Amino acid sequence: MRGSPSWGRLPGAEPQWLAIGSRHQALPERASMLPWGNGRSYGDSCRNDGGVLLAAGALDRYIAFDPATGIIEVEAGVQLAAIIALALPHGWFPAVTPGTRWVTVGGCIANDVHGKNHHRAGSFGHHLLDFELLRSDGTVLHCSPTEHRDWFDATIGGLGLTGLIRRARMQLQRVGGPWLRGDSLRFGSLAEFFALSACSEPDYAYTVAWLDCSASGRHRGRGIFLRANHAPATVAGPQQEAAGRALRLPFTPPLSAVNRLSLRAFNTLYFHRPAAQARERLWHYRPFFYPLDAIADWNRLYGPRGFYQYQCVLPAADAETVLDEMLARIAASGLGSFLVVLKTFGAQRSRGLLSFARPGVTLALDFPNRGAATLALLDALDRLTLDAGGAVYPAKDARMSAAAFQQYFPQWQAFARYIDPKFSSSFWRRVTGSTTA
């Protein structure tokens, strides 16, 4: 038996697992199936409780890589970590990467993931050249911006529901090497965060901030802003940072280790540590892009009841006021986590019919599962997001209501006609009110 299919480790009914590899030319004859990449989605968009999960990790072959152009073709179960290992020595890096490299190409397409460079590079779908989609009736669709374009757009951000992506071709970005150079800057308020974002985005490919969600009163909205660019090949930082071995949490604590006390203590220390204010510093790409990958299975810190992540995007116009209200409620609740991320999205329109990323500012943070209290807080955050005209990210969600989803993604019915009749997910059943697993 495998562990939980999703990163938040919330309880749910067991699925049946079927491995799909290169030799499979057709999908099994099952009533309810869902592709599964590496389970780095937090909520139930990668779950199919009571149905079948098609574990696509065995679709793990490289097909082609051209070091002259940076175009790579892989099977959809290949992880970004493997692409980096192959391409970085030739001076290429994924054009967009989320905050963990243990994600598959299929998973990155199905959530149209974004990274710290959204304001420059848009999301994952913007760098896809084409992919192959296998439907349960045996049809194979070659999808690109010019061929089966509607299927291309429906599958990008399509939550795995349009069919199994077997292989994909994408454009990597040219980089000098594994190092990044930039600044780490403390800020004292949300207004300062917005000012730093505005002045940094023209010059820096990557911008992101960590927020202290336990701070209240005049400290509310304080945090640390990071901005960086890939450094030239001639630049190298400390070797111990490059070595970066991952630690592993040896066991799941019986209760969440994240509580009001540990949160406040960690956040205060983190904010005041000397490295929080440093100009012209170097980061190896691993701690810069993937700080959480340094602790394997960190998700077990939240104990056996698991945790929720809440990630929303808010239109820029009212973002500061709405964020301030959200932070006030989170600080008052004593819930919330160490890992609070704030980032502005650029104006580039996402490619996918159901893509999450849109212009505005995005806030992401974890909440230990304390049952009704946590759900009530998340519902309150949803009301603020809805009133502001924002949206919640399905890749992170395990609890938003059907009404909220349908308001965040009014195009969901137009999308529904691309769903494979044999495919379903726990998420989709929940947010559309359908019942069949």
Ligand X SMILES: Cc1cc2nc3c(=O)[nH]c(=O)nc-3n(C[C@H](O)[C@H](O)[C@H](O)COP(=O)(O)OP(=O)(O)OC[C@H]3O[C@@H](n4cnc5c(N)ncnc54)[C@H](O)[C@@H]3O)c2cc1C
Residues that bind ligand X (CB under 6 A): 7, 34-41, 45-46, 56, 76, 98-100, 103-104, 106-108, 110-111, 113-115, 159-160, 164-165, 292, 395
Q: Which C-beta is closer to ligand X: that of 35 or that of 70?
A: 35
Region label for 424, one of left (φ > 0), alpha (ψ between -120 and 50) or beta (otherwise) = beta
Q: Report in angstroms how near the CB of residue 159 gets to ligand X at its nearest.
A: 4
Q: Report in angstroms how near the CB of residue 417 gets to ligand X at its nearest.
A: 17
Q: Which C-beta is closer to ligand X: that of 331 or that of 405?
A: 405
Q: Count the neighbouring beta carbons within 10 Å of the beta carbon of residue 200.
A: 20
Q: Which C-beta is closer to ligand X: that of 76 or that of 185?
A: 76
Amino acid identity, residue 309?
Q
Q: Count the neighbouring beta carbons within 10 Å of the beta carbon of residue 339.
A: 17
Q: Which C-beta is closer to ligand X: that of 85 or that of 261?
A: 85
Question: In angstroms, what is the C-alpha Rg of the chain?
Answer: 21
What is the Cα 244 distance to its own chain's centre?
A: 22
φ/ψ (deg, to 5) at 157: 75, 10
Query: Rounded to whole angstroms, how far apart are CA atoms 417 and 427?
Result: 17
Q: Which C-beta is closer to ligand X: that of 110 or that of 301?
A: 110
The per-residue DSSP string of 270-336 comes to HHHSGGGSEEEEEEEHHHHH-GGGGEETGGGGG-TT-EEEEEEEE-HHHHHHHHHHHHHHHHHHT--
Q: Report in angstroms how near the CB of residue 5 gets to ligand X at its nearest.
A: 7
Query: Rounded to whole angstroms, how far apart are CA atoms 41 and 36?
Result: 10
Q: Report in angstroms how near the CB of residue 399 gets to ligand X at its nearest.
A: 16
Q: Report in angstroms how near the CB of residue 362 gets to ligand X at its nearest.
A: 9
The per-residue DSSP string of 53-79 comes to EEEEEE---EEEEETTTTEEEEETT-B
Token pair 């059907």: residue = 402
Q: Which C-beta is closer to ligand X: that of 134 or that of 381?
A: 134
Beta strands in 285-372 (DSSP E): 295-296, 307-314, 341-345, 360-368
Q: Report in angstroms how near the CB of residue 236 gets to ligand X at its nearest.
A: 26
Q: Which two tokens stand for residue 176?
A: 């000098």
Q: Report in angstroms how near the CB of residue 2 gets to ligand X at its nearest.
A: 12
| Residue 90 DSSP code | G
Q: Which C-beta is closer to ligand X: that of 111 or that of 173?
A: 111
Query: Rounded to whole angstroms, how far apart are CA atoms 371 and 380?
Result: 15
Question: In the Cβ-directed half-sphere of 96, how many Cα atoms lie within 13 Å?
Answer: 25
Q: Which C-beta is closer to ligand X: that of 41 or that of 374?
A: 41
Query: Rounded to whole angstroms, how far apart are CA atoms 264 and 213?
Result: 9
Residue 28 near residue 49 (C-beta atoms within 8 A): no
Q: Which C-beta is closer to ligand X: that of 130 or that of 324?
A: 130
Q: Report in angstroms how near the CB of residue 124 gets to ligand X at its nearest.
A: 8
Q: Report in angstroms how near the CB of residue 106 gets to ligand X at its nearest.
A: 3
Please name the helix (run of DSSP H) or strand (run of DSSP E) that holds residue 17, with its range, or none.
strand 16-21
Q: Which C-beta is closer to ligand X: that of 90 or that of 148?
A: 148
Q: Report in angstroms how near the CB of residue 68 gets to ligand X at its nearest.
A: 28
Query: Rounded to whole angstroms, how far apart are CA atoms 156 and 5?
Result: 21
